[in-house]
Amino acid sequence: EVQLQQSGAELGKPGTSVKLSCKVSGYNIRSTYMHWVNQRPGKGLEWIGRIDPANGNTIYAEKFKSKATLTADTSSNTAYMQLSQLKSDDTAIYFCAMRLPLAYWGQGTLVTVSS
Amino acid sequence: DIVLTQSPTTMAASPGEKVTLTCRASSSVSYMNWYQQKPGASPKLWIYGTSKLASGVPNRFSGSGSGTSYSLIISSMETEDIATYYCQQCCSTLTFGSGTKLEIK
């Protein structure tokens, strides 16, 4: 059974960074792209970007190019996303997902930005 | 970038009613995927490749469309279908529609 287990909720101060993780079991992440999607409170889904864990190649949505950094560790079958220069507008649930179409999703990580 | 516009934003349907949700793309796309999301839960793949049902999806659901216009259809609304539905196009970059919230009347 494929499972994506995301790290726990984060509380970050404005101007700082947080790093989220997404550990995959039941599937080798070298064989797929790992995607990240966010959902602001009461809003819709927004694609952030994706990484090819086999070679580290990344593609970002334009608005997240200076906000998010995607990495992956194939030895631990885990994908990561770092969010930098946090602002209140970054408060959201962040999901990892894989395969296209996005057949497998993590449970989401709530990031709250507050001083 | 391709923009996906879903309509209506919110709709209420009676049990047994036929429901049609629409997704329009700003440029032609090859196919459309749909996701169902219930409050407090992660999205679930619901329909892919325009018309293929994901595993476990009831056959009262169907998908159709081409070019810039796509639809998700429920032949007979049930209470368990209450959710928000998002369309999504790909592929080097992905885009989601803004969602249609489906309620029971």
Q: Which of B33, B36, B42 to mutate to test the interface with A (most CBs of A within 10 A)?
A: B42
Inform me whether the C-beta atom of residue A50 falls under 8 Å from chain B C-beta atoms.
Answer: yes
Inter-chain CB proximity A45 and B49 less than 8 Å: no
pLDDT of residue A78: 98
pLDDT-derived band at A65 (thresholds 50, 70, 90) equals: very high
* Cross-chain Cβ contact B1/A44 below 8 Å: no
d(C-alpha A70, C-alpha A4), whole Å = 16
Find the residue in B nearest to A46 (Cα): B96
- B45 interfaces chain A, CB cutoff of 8 Å: yes
What's the N-to-C CA distance of chain A in angstroms? 40
Stated as kind and residue range, the H or E segment containing B23 is: strand B19-25
Burial class (CB in 10 A: 0-12, 13-18, 19+), B18: exposed
Q: Which residues, 6+ apart, have CB-to-CB distance to B68 below 8 Å?
A: B24, B25, B26, B27, B28, B29
Interchain contact, A102 vs B45, CB within 8 Å: yes
DSSP code of residue B5: E
- Which residues lie below 8 Å from residue A43, measured CB to CB, with a gap of 6+? none
Q: Which of A6, A45, A98 to substitute to test the interface with B, most B CBs within 10 Å?
A: A45
Any chain B CB within 8 A of the CB of A95? yes
Residues in chain B with CB shorter than 8 Å from the CB of A46 are 96
**pLDDT given at position B91:** 74
Query: Does position B1 have pLDDT exceeding 90, yes or no?
Result: no
Upper half-sphere CA count for residue A21 (Cβ side, 13 Å)? 10
Say yes or no to pLDDT of B92 above 80: no
In sequence order, the β-bridge partners of residue B104 are B13
- How close, in Å, is residue A75 to chain B by CA atoms? 26
Q: Is residue A33 scored above 80 in pLDDT? A: yes
Burial B81-102 (b: 16+ CB within 10 A, else e): bbbbbbbbbbeeebbbbbbbbb
Contact A59 B93 (CB under 8 A): yes
- Across chain A, mean pLDDT equals 97
Report yes or no: A59 at the B interface, CB cutoff 8 Å.
Answer: yes
Among the ranges given (A16-30, A82-96, B42-56, B81-95), the one the predictor scored with the smallest mean pLDDT: B81-95
Report d(CA A66, CA B87) in Å as an integer: 26
Quick one: three-class SS letters along B35-82?
EEECCCCCCEEEEECCCEECCCCCCCEEEEEECCEEEEEECCCCHHHC
Residue A30 dihedral angles phi and psi, to the nearest 5°? -65, -20
pLDDT at residue A100 in the model? 85
- Is residue A34 very low, low, confident or very high in pLDDT (cuts 50, 70, 90)? very high
As a whole number of angstroms, the distance between CA B61 and CA B103 comes to 16
Quick one: pLDDT at residue A25? 98
- What was the pLDDT predicted at B90? 84
